[in-house]
Structure formats: C-alpha cells, structure tokens
C-alpha cells in the first residue's frame, strides 16, 4: 500500500470520530449556557419587603436578568452582562425610595466538564454597586447618612459551580442539586471611604439550590394537568415548579470592633422557598427568612436584623413545551 493510500485510509477512519466529537462539544456548549442562566439570581416583588428591618417598607422589588452576549456553540467560554436594580419603597408620607441599589457587571463562564447532568464550571464576575446619591456618606455626628449619603463599591467574585440531576424516567418528576462556592473581594477598585473598617470587603460565599421538575399535559380546553396512567398522551410541558435556595456569606476582612468570629456583624444568610402553581408560567410564589449582619441594600450596611419576605419571584426557569 502506498503512503498516500495509507494516509487516506487513516483520514477516512478518524474523520467521522472527530466530526462526532465536534458535534458533541457544540451541543454541550449550548446546553451549558442554559445552566449559566438557570443559576442566575431571581427577580422578585415583595409587599412589605424585609419584615423585621429597622426601616418599614410598603413594597420592594429586585429586577435582574442575564444578557448572554457570548454563548456560541464553538466555545466552552461564555460571557454575559448582568444588571440588577433593587428598590425599597419606604412606609412614610411621600412613599420615597431615597437610595435605590444599582448593580451593573459582567460574568465570564468557563465550562469545566462535558456532563450536563453532572455539570462543573467556573465563573468570574466584576460588579459596580452604587446608590445614585452624592451627599456626604457620614453625618456631622459621625453616623451614616442613610437619607442621601453616597454609596459606591466595585468588586470581583470568583465562583466554582457544580450540580447534578437525578435520573429522568418517562414523564416522572425529577430533581437537581446545585452548588456554588465563591469569594468576593472589593478593595482592588474605587469605593466610598466611609466603608473603611465598617464593611465586609472580603466575603466567603456558599449557595445551595434544590429544584424539582414535573411534566404536565394539555387536553386542549382543560389546561395543563398531571397525566393519569389511563389517559392518552397529549402536548407536554416540562416545568420547574419548586425551588429551595440557601445563600450564606461571611465577611473575613478586618472590621472595627468585631473579631473574626462575629456572626452578628459578619454573617448574611437566607433560606427561600419558591413554588409555581400549575397555571403559572415562569413565576413562583416566594417565602424567605434570613439574617443580615450587614444589610446589602447600599448605604444601609450598618443595619443588622432578622427578617422575612413574601411575594412573587421569577427568572430563567425551565419551561419547555413539546
């Protein structure tokens, strides 16, 4: 056999394998983009807002989304712009907002494996956080100016995210476990100097999210419902209907008058439950309880309190009709 024939034979043998591997990687890259979006923060609207806060509120809302600017099938790396806006309407005569929270940043995602049902990826984010005010952050009596005091900071967040999905049986409920381990660091960039020695600039992060998915079927006029064994198959909806979220962060930098073991000031923690009724689309009913050692609502960072929150939430929730 000539050398050219040998090369041709080898090429014809390995080409289908390489092509199949490329198709496999392309599909996986696209599937991971869905994971990045599903693991994003939820938006919510909450009457009475943080019940238990020193300030009383009529309603609050957080609005966030993910603009996936780079999510090509040809690359294991993706990039998104992620804005977040939070407002709390105060329970006072003018029903003022005073100091809303504005966050704008970007995240780079790097796929670390090829198993979408046991996924692993890294995330690096940069975020600017400010409240749109230009008053002095500290009052003449040395207290923090929560009326119109300036708040601004910029931070990096590095995260390792991983999760697993239970085995899918035909038309049966299944679940997923989703983890995030991260580190947030502020002091590389400009920030309001009133935060010095009083603010959690460096935080350890851990999030856990357990999610439950179900299949619903439509009999045209009867709407979506679970299918009984003796019913014929019809149009099928695959939907996430339940989510338990746990979010924990702990400040580890130097804070005046507080040692390293001081959860009263350093710990932020929240447990939330999100449930979607069968007639809802990408919306949950929400109930949350938690503790702020440092209120994340901009200039109110000195507030420490336990709270509850009720309302509705939404995000990039699995909702597929087949």
Average pLDDT of the chain, as a whole number: 89
More confident site: 134 or 207: 207
pLDDT tens digits along 156-202: 999 999 999 998 787 889 999 999 999 999 987 889 999 999 999 99
pLDDT tens digits along 239-248: 999 999 999 9
Q: What is the mean pLDDT of residues 131-148?
A: 92
pLDDT above 50: residue 13: no
- Full DSSP string of 225-290: EPPPTTSPP-EEEEEEEEEEEEEEEEE-S-BTTB-SS-HHHHEEEEEEEEE--TT-SSEEEEEEEE
Q: What is the CATH class of 3-321? A: mainly beta
Q: Sort strands 120-130 and 101-111 into parallel, antiparallel or unpaired.
A: antiparallel
What pLDDT, on the 0 to 100 scale, is given for residue 12? 44
Q: Three-state DSSP class for 213? A: strand
Q: Three-state DSSP class for 28? A: helix
Percentage with pLDDT > 90 across the chain: 75
Per the CB < 8 A criterion, the answer to whether 51 and 307 are in contact is yes
What pLDDT, on the 0 to 100 scale, is given for residue 43? 98
What pLDDT, on the 0 to 100 scale, is given for residue 232? 59
More confident site: 1 or 205: 205
List, as own/partner pairs, every contact residues 184-189 make where C-beta atoms lie below 8 angstroms and the sequence separation is at least 24, other chains included: 184/155, 184/156, 184/157, 184/249, 185/155, 185/156, 185/157, 186/153, 186/154, 186/155, 188/154, 188/156, 189/153, 189/154, 189/155
What pLDDT, on the 0 to 100 scale, is given for residue 231? 59
What pLDDT, on the 0 to 100 scale, is given for residue 279? 87
Whose tokens are 């000539």? That residue is 2
Identify the weakest region by mean pLDDT among 1-5, 115-119, 139-143. Answer: 1-5
Q: What is the mean pLDDT of residues 47-55?
A: 95
CA distance 272 to 81: 25
What pLDDT, on the 0 to 100 scale, is given for residue 10? 39
More confident site: 39 or 189: 39
Q: Is the pTM of this model over 0.85?
A: yes
For the chain, domain boundaries = 3-321
pLDDT above 70: residue 255: yes
pLDDT above 70: residue 219: no
């Amino acid at each position: 056999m000539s050398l050219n024939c040998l090369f041709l034979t080898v090429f014809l043998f390995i080409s289908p394998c390489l092509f199949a591997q490329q198709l496999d990687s392309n599909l996986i890259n696209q599937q991971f983009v869905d994971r990045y979006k599903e693991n994003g923060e939820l938006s919510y609207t909450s009457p009475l807002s943080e019940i238990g806060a020193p300030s009383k509120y009529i309603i609050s809302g957080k609005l966030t989304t993910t603009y996936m600017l780079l999510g090509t099938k040809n690359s294991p790396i993706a990039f998104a712009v992620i804005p977040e806006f939070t407002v709390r309407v105060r329970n006072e005569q003018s029903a003022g907002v005073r100091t809303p929270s504005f966050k704008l940043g970007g995240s780079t995602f790097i796929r670390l494996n090829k198993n979408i049902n046991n996924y692993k990826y890294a995330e690096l984010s940069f975020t600017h956080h400010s409240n749109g005010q230009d008053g002095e952050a500290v009052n003449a009596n040395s207290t923090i100016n929560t009326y119109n005091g300036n708040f601004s900071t910029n931070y990096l967040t590095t995260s390792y995210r991983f999760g697993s999905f239970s085995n899918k049986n035909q038309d049966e409920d299944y679940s997923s476990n989703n983890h995030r381990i991260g580190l947030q660091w502020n002091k590389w960039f400009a920030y309001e100097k009133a935060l010095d020695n009083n603010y959690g600039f460096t935080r350890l992060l851990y999030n856990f999210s357990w999610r439950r998915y179900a299949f619903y079927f439509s009999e045209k006029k009867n709407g979506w419902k679970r299918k009984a064994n003796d019913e014929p198959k019809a149009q099928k909806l695959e939907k996430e209907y339940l989510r338990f979220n746990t979010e924990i962060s702990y400040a580890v930098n130097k804070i005046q008058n507080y040692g390293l073991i001081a959860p009263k000031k350093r710990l932020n923690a929240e447990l939330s439950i999100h449930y979607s009724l069968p007639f809802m689309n990408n919306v949950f009913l929400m109930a949350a309880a938690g503790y702020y050692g440092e209120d994340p609502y901009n200039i109110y960072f000195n507030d420490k309190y336990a709270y509850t929150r009720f309302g509705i939430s939404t995000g990039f929730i699995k909702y597929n009709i087949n």
